[in-house]
Amino acid sequence: MSSRSIKTRAPSSSLTTLLDVCRHVDGDPTARHDLKALGRRAGLSTFQLHRLFKSFLGITPREYVEQARVQELKRRLRTDSSVTNAIYDAGFESSSAVYGRLDVHLGMTPRSYRRGGANEAISFAFGTTPLGHVLIGATDRGICYLQFGDSQGELLEQLAAEYPNASVAPSPAGSGPEFAAWMKALNAHLEGKPSKAELPLDIQGTAFQKRVWEFLRTIPYGATTSYAQVARAIGTPKSVRAAASACARNKIGLLIPCHRVLRGSGDLAGYRWGLPRKRRLLAVEGAARTSDARSFPRTRSRGEVAEDRAR
């Protein structure tokens, strides 16, 4: 196949080819998927295959293979007799070589994930806002969870389901002046009064999800964008559905403002915490926007927090 063939294919043909390769990898995630072999299956050179994956998914074929193995590892961590067995059975070559990379994928070490978050300490606190109850969860690295709900019981149940065996406990700061100041600033934001409050975030997700979420944090207070614009902004214009999926999987509401993303037609689309809340947020922010409006709150990534600690 010539190097120009990928360009002349119809989009549907390219997508069909991509899906065939993805299904092949997903069907046997423990296999050693050589990139040249995957290219031959698709009728493409390794360069063309790389470009196809980046165009539609925003990741490389190698990254896709690793993500498939991580999913298999998650399954095996629940059933295999040991963490080491699970790592090898999932297709990884050694346990020592993959621990650092898996911490990024799982948000914790494989051993902690196997135990449903065991040894991962998550503190939480409740608050009351114009959008209903809110639960804020944090590790020692920053806020990892901010959810809205109709009751505290519902919110706590969701947190427990996300981390079934983590050490989840009320935050001592939940009744202190710092949390009170944060809730005051949060409610001010929900009333159309942006704040300069800064909070560290512990953002856990895939590389693609993190790219989407980091971009969402740059959307100005009172502004909106579309899923297609998000995909273009992160350099993967064909990954609109993947960008929408990343928005839907956001676990840190408001601080990662996925509510500011709409369909291209201007329709609200979905919202994890319900369309009435999304509609109200957009109305409040739109009405309050001024020429010097700021995104709220100004959040800091783990890297920024680490830099501060190093100083």
Catalytic residues: 258
Asked whether the beta carbons of 131 and 148 are under 8 A apart, the reply is yes
